Structure 1
Amino acid sequence: MTSEAVLQVQGASASFGARKALDGVSLSIGRGEMVALIGPSGSGKSTLLRALTGLTRIDAGEGRITAFGQTVQAGGKVSDQIRGVRARIGMVFQQFNLVGRLSLFSNVALGMLGRIAPLRGLLGLWPAAEKVAVMQALARVGVADQAGQRAQTLSGGQQQRGAIARALVQGAEVILADEPVASLDPVAGRRVMELLCDLNRDEGLSVVVSLHQVDYALRYCRRVIALKAGKVAYDGPSEGLDHAALIDIYGPEIEEVFWEGDRPQ
């Protein structure tokens, strides 16, 4: 881990009724890290990613979340400065969150709405420099040839690449990816993970990716954080997760979380 933390969570809990989705979670993500977030269904992975951007509010109390040294939320209240923090964090979701009837170009260009007048964006009146930036982002993720196609006509892998391009156009320094390959076939899933690794290595982006596929976490990420019942059950190098540790984390689910048979011994 680098010494500079871009995301920090201190004693954060998040409850939905009587159920605690997060239970006293503390962790730190360094600049330029590639981190996998794993754990069984209901362990708190999505809740944690959403809490990191203030989309899910943590419980009142001493819990605190910061990004780039600025408060995201604390004591159960989201910071008044949250918009500025969110502009530096790109969210990528399992279901892509693209507008199906709009072209891939327009979907990616929506990542600039925080930088241009809203009316211009809604009318698709993108300045020339921004148009160039969109096409560069599409080329970077390998789907520039599909720029004019409606998002709903594209494959899942192409749509997910478009969602990543939107985060690049946004100017994100951190990408939080919530199960980005869960809706994809293994080939498309590998390509998306390889793209995230490339952006981490070549662009220096910090990436936190939640994964149901443990073999992908071990293959592509140097660090793994495992949640179990809302608590951090493991936080360390991927090679430190042996089969016994994974059985302890997943229990009966262990047989469902490997796509390609890459199981630690």
Structure 2
Amino acid sequence: MTSSPALASVRDVSKTFGPRKALDGVSLEVAAGEMVALIGPSGSGKSTLLRSITGLQTIDAGSGLIEVFGEAVQKNGRLTGQARAARQRVGMIFQQFNLVGRLSLFSNVMLGALGRLPAWRGLLGMWPAEDRRRAMAALHRVGVSDYAAQRANTLSGGQQQRGAIARALVQGARAIVADEPVASLDPVSARRVMELLVELNQRDGLGVIVTLHQVDYALRYCDRVVALKAGKVVYDGPSTQLDTRILIDIYGPEYEDAFWETKS
């Protein structure tokens, strides 16, 4: 029996911005169906790594290689011809939701189907009936179907973020890559979004890679934690073994500032 290709395979990847190395020889493998938290102080390289995996950020030329579900996305500092197809399998969730404010929540979720349809159909709103049904089912799944007709910019942050997750479901994504998805939310909405990601991971088998500033959320919701510091991986292991000594090494003596709910 052959195993499924990894959600993401990152090998010896570096990324330089001017004099600063945002990523410095990073290697990492995330299995299909795994849920992994990326943590680390601001500027540690978390978002750069996530954007590199999805092909939104090119890496430095050299030996670095990034594969998504067995397809090379980046090699020698360039996107490959397989990058677009690989990206279609991954739903990207951003801190600021990336919804079109003037469009209804339903229309925003329907945008997830664009990769399967001619562009003109999307521009004219000529969505196939099956995709419409899929969109409403996704909105119901994430708990915001009652707001389908509302303009996105009239919704709360938590409602918009769940809409963004519904869009990834309509896309048919096999994995979700989320960059600080709860940073702009209040604690109650943040917990709902994290619980939804866990449900999609455990019930639907979607792989999830999520960057978090909140260490307590990483410990609570993710079995595996990868910590970056100054562009290097400094911890990769079970969340249960992420003790105070390791956290001080990652964040310094003020490591408790990285815990959200102890401050709320």
TM tier, smaller: over 0.9
Percent identity of equivalent pairs: 69
* Contact map agreement 1:58 1:76 (CA 8 A) in 2: yes
- Give 1:79 shift: 0.4
- Give 1:4 shift: 4.5
Structure 2 counterpart of 1:137, which letter?
A: A
For structure 2, the residue ranges without an aligned partner over 5 or more in a row are: none
- The within-5 A match list for 1:157-172 is 157-172=158-173
What SS is found at the alignment partner of 2:249?
Answer: helix
Distance 2:250 2:109 in 1: 37
- The within-5 A match list for 1:34-45 is 34-45=35-46
1:206 aligns with 2:210: no
> Which residue in 2 is equivalent to 1:128?
129
CA-to-aligned-CA distance 1:127-179 (integer Å, 9 cap, x gap): 11110000001011000010000000000000000000000100111100000
Alpha carbons of structure 1 residues 86 and 3: separation in structure 2 relative to 1, 3 Å: closer
Alpha carbons of structure 1 residues 253 and 164: separation in structure 2 relative to 1, 3 Å: farther
* Contact map agreement 1:40 1:253 (CA 8 A) in 2: no
Distance 1:213 1:68 in 2: 28
- Give 1:257 shift: 1.0
Poorly superposed stretches of 4+, deviation over 4 Å = none
What SS is found at the alignment partner of 2:252?
Answer: helix
- Please report the TM-score for the alignment, with normalisation by the length of structure 2: 0.97
> Which residue in 2 is equivalent to 1:178?
179
* Contact map agreement 2:5 2:70 (CA 8 A) in 1: no
1:30 aligns with 2:21: no
> Which residue in 2 is equivalent to 1:80?
81
What SS is found at the alignment partner of 1:22?
Answer: strand
- The within-5 A match list for 1:88-107 is 88-107=89-108
Structure 1 counterpart of 2:202, which letter?
A: R
Distance 1:36 1:239 in 2: 13
CA-to-aligned-CA distance 1:11-56 (integer Å, 9 cap, x gap): 0000111111000000100011110000000000000000001111
> Which residue in 2 is equivalent to 1:244?
245
- Please report the TM-score for the alignment, with normalisation by the length of structure 1: 0.96
For this pair of structures, how many residues does the alignment match? Answer: 261
Distance 1:118 1:148 in 2: 22
- Give 1:254 shift: 1.4
Distance 2:126 2:14 in 1: 43
Distance 2:5 2:89 in 1: 16
Distance 2:252 2:5 in 1: 35
Structure 2 counterpart of 1:40, which letter?
A: P
> Which residue in 2 is equivalent to 1:115?
116
> Which residue in 1 is equivalent to 2:58?
57
Structure 2 counterpart of 1:121, which letter?
A: G
> Which residue in 1 is equivalent to 2:261?
260
CA-to-aligned-CA distance 1:237-258 (integer Å, 9 cap, x gap): 0001001110110115513211
> Which residue in 1 is equivalent to 2:17?
16
For structure 1, the residue ranges without an aligned partner over 5 or more in a row are: none
Alpha carbons of structure 1 residues 86 and 95: separation in structure 2 relative to 1, 3 Å: same
